[in-house]
Chain A
Amino acid sequence: MRASLLLLADSRLPAGGHAHSGGLEPAVAAGAVRDVPALADFLRGRLATSGLVAAALAAAACAHAARGGGAWAALDAETDARTPSPAQRAASRAQGRSLLRVARTAWASPALDALAGTPGGPHHPAVLGAAAAAMGAAPREAAEITAYMAVTGPASAGIRLLGLDPLAVNRALAVLAADVDAVAAEAAGFADGPWAELPAASAPLLDLYAERHLRTDLRLFES
């Protein structure tokens, strides 16, 4: 893998990810996740649903950007259609805005410039895909990074929120690695197809958690 791609996947990338738990904080607040096995289940569920959707969107965005990537409105609408919770839409756009700022300072690309015109800021998977394309990466690689981040973000939130053993969490992620690869491969298969046929797996409980989280008084994470 090229070093630029590693930068994009690095949790130290200053793109705002550290303040998002991917729905883990409300899951912890609801008592649904208390230990490492429950976290591993949460991550598996998230990977198979919103992880797959985001990875496919990123793969499609990468392919679109590689073709020149001027018009983004349709993919933006497809993303909204697959993100029923307004709280999750806002979180995705917030992370998309932050990632776009980082990407545009590091990698020149007309497709990234075009994304800057998205009202409310572009969705996160679209920016991930376009950023990957800007460094010459393939849709498969954009999907891999997106699927990987779909589990590593909430995992590190779990360490902070519950004081989980970081070695045990890392082992859970290692066990999940083959699933991450499989989801990325499946997602990459949609890169060049019609956007309307991108996967639309849903996770209603995550949607509910996201909405409930916004109305919580005490919370550490944006989402």
Chain B
Amino acid sequence: MGANHDHDPYAATRPHGRALRLGIGGPVGSGKTALTAALCRALRDELDLAVVTNDIYTTEDADFLRREAVLSDDRITAVRTGACPHTAIRDDISANLDACEALQERHPGLDLIIVESGGDNLTALFSQGLADRQIFVLDVAGGDDVPRKGGLGVAAADLLVINKTDLAPLVGSDLAMMGRDAGKVRGGKPVVFSSLRERPGADEVAAWIRGVLHDLAHEHGEHEHEHGRERERAAAS
């Protein structure tokens, strides 16, 4: 499971490998922290969870998550990004890896670590060495032409979340067009609409994560099965 195990000292600590690392990126204020909080509430009873925030200037996102008490304090870590949020998730992921590894050491049974990126532009993309899967969050009020403009985050994320649909009538954004444009640049990868204000549960995103974890566990199971069969064949010959 995961994309890049070369520098991962935890690959063998759990039967299903280390925690899945899920990146959440997107422009400033699009709802990344709100989504992170919603996912923690939705998943914390079924999954062993932790969060890393990449704040631009303060520890505001981490503080918000602590205040909302979505997870215990020792499951939330903030890293600083030296004025370059995309560097910390893409070019030099070491502070984030350090934070993930420290969390994993403290909670060896972790299933999922959510890494929230600092608010950035449309070219932001998580490194495969940091995130196994990534979600990009757009804000309806940021302009309904954003999906058409594409950009690495919009095009390449495993899931695109178009958030704040409640604001669409107020700002005159055409949701159907946003969905169509996103579909064109994303080659069939999923898009969901959300209003975390009106439906704070983030049900569809939580369901997508459950699906990812289920698929990975299944893949891993088959792997184990094959290894077992190889061992049997080797023993028989």
Contact = CB atoms under 8 A, between A and B. Distances in A.
Nearest to A99: B94
Contacts, number: 67
Interface string B100-114: 000000000000000
Contacts of B82: 18-21, 157, 160, 220-222
A53 interface: no
Interface string B104-129: 00000000000000000000000000
Contacts of A101: 7, 94, 97
A131 interface: no
A219 B80 contact: yes
Contact of A16 (B6, B83, B94): B94
Interface string B1-31: 0000011000000000000000000000000
A16 B92 contact: yes
Interface in B41-98: 56-58, 79-84, 87-88, 91-95, 97-98
A85 interface: no
A13 B93 CA distance: 11
B96 to A, nearest CB: 10
A217 interface: yes
Interface in A161-192: 161
A95 B102 CA distance: 15
Contacts of B88: 18-19
A97 B94 CA distance: 9
A218 interface: yes
Interface residues of B, number: 20
Contacts of A17: 92
A94 B98 contact: yes
B97 A18 contact: no
Contact of A105 (B7, B58, B81, B95): B7
B6 A220 contact: no
A89 to B, nearest CB: 16
A157 B95 CA distance: 17
A19 B57 contact: no
Given A16-B94, A16-B95, A220 B80 contact: yes
Chain A to chain B: the 7 pairs with minimum beta-carbon distance, closest first: A98-B94, A16-B94, A19-B82, A14-B92, A160-B83, A220-B83, A18-B82
Given A12-B91, A219-B80, 16 more contacts: A12-B92, A14-B91, A14-B92, A18-B82, A18-B84, A18-B87, A18-B91, A19-B88, A21-B82, A97-B94, A160-B84, A217-B58, A218-B58, A220-B56, A221-B80, A221-B82
Interface of B: 6-7, 56-58, 79-84, 87-88, 91-95, 97-98
Interface of A: 12-21, 94, 97-98, 101-102, 104-105, 157, 160-161, 217-222
28 contacts: A14-B91, A14-B92, A15-B94, A16-B92, A16-B95, A18-B84, A18-B87, A18-B91, A19-B79, A19-B81, A19-B82, A19-B88, A20-B82, A94-B95, A97-B98, A98-B94, A98-B95, A101-B7, A101-B94, A104-B7, A105-B6, A160-B83, A217-B58, A218-B57, A220-B57, A220-B82, A222-B80, A222-B82
